[in-house]
Structure 1
Amino acid sequence: MDLSALILADSRFPGGGHVHSGGLEEVVSRKLVDSVRDLPGFLSGRLRTAGFLAAVFAAASAHAAVDGGNWSLLDSELDARTPSLAQREASRAQGRGTARAGRIAWPSPVLEALLAETPRPHHSIVLGALVGVAGGSPHDAAMAAAYLSVSGPASAAVRLLGLDPFAVNAVVARLDLASVCAEAAAVAGDDPASLPSPGSPALDLFAEAHARHHQEEVRLFAS
């Protein structure tokens, strides 16, 4: 895995990911997840839906950073595959933070072109572009995006429920990230309009509910 992808997947990277739970806070508030035994189902489902979608577009963006691509088209295609407004806003907030930090770490005319076309890019778009700019492969970008899709909720589970971090990380280690990333990297060069479109209506509904509750009461996470 390329160093840039490792840095971007690190929870210490100042991209703002630490304020997002990937839907877990809403799920916990509904008592649908309350112990380590509940995590594999939630994380596996998230990996195969939202995580796979993020991995696909991160891989496509890494490909576009090297071979050229239409950033606004990539961004709009991901937007169309994200029906929840709350999820779109969370993705763009993370994208903005990642772009700000990435501009300093990996300055590049490719990144400037992306931000000129899409001033508020989705997170996986800018993540993939940064990996590509730094010399990483579409597979590296997919791995970073897929890992972030489950590591964020896993970390949130520790904070929200006081779970054993060793047990939680063991759940993450057993997830099948390899096949998700291989599938995502295999379509990196395809027409953006034909890229996969996995859906998760439950995550969409939880995201919208969390956004409403976040306005009514103090929540630990923004999403």
Structure 2
Amino acid sequence: FMCAGSMIHNLKDSQDIRFMGSIVNFMPLTSVCFNVSSLSLCGIPFLAGFYSKDLILEMVCLSWINCLIFFFYFVSTGLTASYSFRLFYYSMSGDNNFYSSFYFDDKSYYISFGMLSLLFVAVFGGSFLSWLIFPIPYTIVLPYYLKLLTMLTVALGSYLGYCFSNMNFSNDLFSFNVLFFVSFSGSMWFMPYLSTGFVSY
């Protein structure tokens, strides 16, 4: 969150990821911290998120729960990987789509120190806490297909995020044909129309 906040602050409070191309060239330290923390969030092995996410999903596989709940656990894990990879793709690759005369960097000492401290926790915190909480190794015995289901879910979610990033939108979308209805139903409780006497667009 600190990395995302630093990026948003440097982009003049713009949260649109389509403006964030090639941030790695301008903010390398923030980009490294951001990518490592995103990988930890996805549950990549041996980062902090892996120890909790893998344990939770393996306990779900081991327990007697409803198939729908089982499905929701793994779909939510895949969607986490999907939006993390999509955010990585938009913010780190391609061209910078922000204003051409705008310059941003990561020279703030306090933010950099905080991000590096949290980067250390994201890399080593999971293993330290795992060794402290479970002094005796905690082994869950599952078939191979259930053991690998977590990693397969993360890989498929990342691929889905890549596919969403490459999706092109054209002018023949259905929502463009009913633009007035989409604009009307998407406004905040129809208040712009009610407060201006149906004059605003």
TM-score by length of 2: 0.30
> RCO (CA 8 Å, sep 6+): is it higher in 1 or 2?
1
Q: Which has the larger radius of gyration?
A: 2
TM-score by length of 1: 0.28
